[in-house]
Amino acid sequence: MDYLFSALHKNYEEMVSIRRYLHANPELSFHEVHTPAYIANYHRELGLQVREGVGGRGVVATLRGAKPGKTVALRADFDALAIQELNDLPYKSKVDGVMHACGHDGHTATLLVLAKVLKEMQEQLAGNVVFIHQFAEEITPGGAKPMIDDGCLDGVDVIFGTHLWAPMPLGDVGVRTGPIMAAADMFDITIHGKGGHGAEPHNSVDAIVIGSHFMTQLQTLVSRRVDPLKSAVVTVGHFEAINPFNVIAENVVIKGTVRTFEESVRSLLEQEIELLLKSVCEGAHATFDYKFSRGYPPVVNHKKETQFLADAACLVPEVQNVKECAPFMIGEDFAYYLEKVPGTFFITGAKNPEWEEAYPHHHARFNFDERAMLIAAKTMGLATLKYLKHSK
């Protein structure tokens, strides 16, 4: 433990340097080329066994300990978002319209330097460590599932992952058994009415009015159809009718998202949205197209591994609070890993104590306190060492 912590401290500046390089050179989901090459080269220089192109653009590096034992997997994602960065930083994005606005640059830097330190401890390891560098977390169908299909979890006994979280104070670690992040689904609707002159509504079927009625009633599904002791969110993020001001719209396009933790609620809302849409449209003499696209399932942490991680976090000097966090309605394809092997996904606080308020994830001014990377590395590193030691 002492060597792990001191070595990570020694290499902290390199961790920051890697993060800032990646931040300045972001790549969009499913378009990552230079980032996976950079990651693979780093691991190769450490002397690790490296697989590239895993599941498409993923990288998997394996560190084999000097003695036989269990296998721990650690995962980091490395894709960026289609956002124009507004931060005035020396390492701000050099790519127009693309930005690391969710901390994936920090996740990658954390895992790379942790791999370097664990490699230095190879002779002490009884077991193996698999470093999973995942592409395309931000956009469904995501990179986790194809990487799993391509064998990234073969032989793995447990998996740990973290998300640097800017709204949570530096020094806090959030853990939760069971669902910690929601299923993230999408609906895509087109309402077909009958266009006409704005002065003659009686000769038309106004898709905007119908869409507005549907939008209003949609808000009752969570409050009146879902068990109040269960959680759900239905949000419309897109309502569009491209039309002159004096013309009644023939078509309206509505897109939104559904967030749930339980399969029964997920299926209920998928059906209820369509039933509501059908009743509103039929009553107004309109037709519709409806598509419900299932995204990532909920992230469900395993009890034993969550407690194991929490116990390890308590031993990290920079960690001030290890607390049970409330579940998040955001989605994460780490869910797929946890469907295959035991493990846990935890939250590492990354809000600078001097900041009055942190910009949210996916914001053009998003940033995080880089010291959170050190806490994340120590927590995952210690959990790895303790798991291998106690699983012999």
Catalytic residues: 79, 137
Buried b (16+ CB within 10 A) or exposed e, 229-243: eebbebebeebebeb
Q: Is residue 114 classed as helix, strand or coil in its secondary structure?
A: helix
92, burial (CB in 10 Å: exposed 0-12, middle 13-18, buried 19+): middle
Buried b (16+ CB within 10 A) or exposed e, 297-313: bbbbbbeebbebbbebb
**163 labeled binding residue:** yes
**362 labeled binding residue:** yes
**31 labeled binding residue:** no
Tokens of 386: 């303790």
**192 labeled binding residue:** no
Q: Are 93 and 105 in contact (CB under 8 A)?
A: no
Residue with tokens 């009890």: 303
Q: Is residue 76 classed as helix, strand or coil in its secondary structure?
A: strand
Residue 164: φ, ψ to 5°? -65, 130
Residue with tokens 């990179």: 143
**314 labeled binding residue:** no
Q: How many CA atoms lie within 13 A of 109 on its CB side?
A: 26
Query: Binding site for Mn(2+): what residues are annotated?
Result: 102, 104, 138, 163, 362
Which parts are annotated binding residues? Answer: 102, 104, 138, 163, 362
